[in-house]
Amino acid sequence: MSYSLCVYCGSRAGNDARYAQDAEALGTALAEAGIRLVYGAGDVGLMGTVARAAKAGGCKTFGVIPQHLLDREVGKRDLDTFIVTETMHERKKVMVMNADAIAVLPGGAGSLDEFFEVLTWRQLSLHDKPIYLLNSAGYWTKLTHLLDHIIGSGFADESLKGFYEVVADVPGLMSALTRARAA
């Protein structure tokens, strides 16, 4: 099986055009690199943007959506693999289990939940997959400051920073994925 990237991102587009531009560029880059997209199976917001670009480029796609979000997130049924779960927790577990690395694009509370869950799992040695924050238009800068504050306040070790990498743009993410694949 080819290398797979789990992408967490917003079910909305956000208010900066660069978020959608990066989502589209990532979908295209994944297709060009032969990396399978694993994501939340929605066809709205950044989720839909990355998936449509990936599909247009011939990328293999693996989507996972809970039953209660099929209508709200407009479940994208033209994916290579389309899985419907009962719960959000099951969705997240299936996504991570079927990916070799994780990238977090701009998003809201759901994307933060997903990031912190995989970060915690990594901290607890439940997986050793690389985690990337795609800092589109500086979106995650304040989050990285919060993580520094958590470490500085004694609630996490400095080693926490070694469990994720901040990348500025899609070429930087693709370079990081190339390094991870070679390792």
pLDDT average, residue stretch 39-57: 94
Mean pLDDT for all residues in the chain: 94
Task: Give residue 75's pLDDT.
Answer: 66
Sign of the Cα torsion 42, 47, 53, 59 reads: negative
Tens digit of each residue's pLDDT (9 = 90 or more) over 107-161: 999 999 999 999 999 999 999 999 999 999 999 999 999 999 999 999 999 999 9
Q: How many domains does the chain have?
A: 1
Task: Give residue 69's pLDDT.
Answer: 80
Provide φ and ψ at 37, rounded to 5°: -90, 125
Tens digit of each residue's pLDDT (9 = 90 or more) over 2-27: 899 999 999 999 999 999 999 999 99
* Entry pTM: 0.94
Rounded to 5°, angle at Cα 5 from 105 and 28 = 70
The residues, any chain, with a CB within 8 Å of residue 152's CB and separated by 6 or more, are none
CA 100 to CA 179: how far, in whole Å?
13
- Residue 73's pLDDT band (boundaries 50, 70, 90)? low
Domain with residue 151: its CATH number is 3.40.50.450
CA 165 to CA 160: how far, in whole Å?
10
Provide φ and ψ at 65, rounded to 5°: -140, 140
Domain that holds residue 121: 4-182
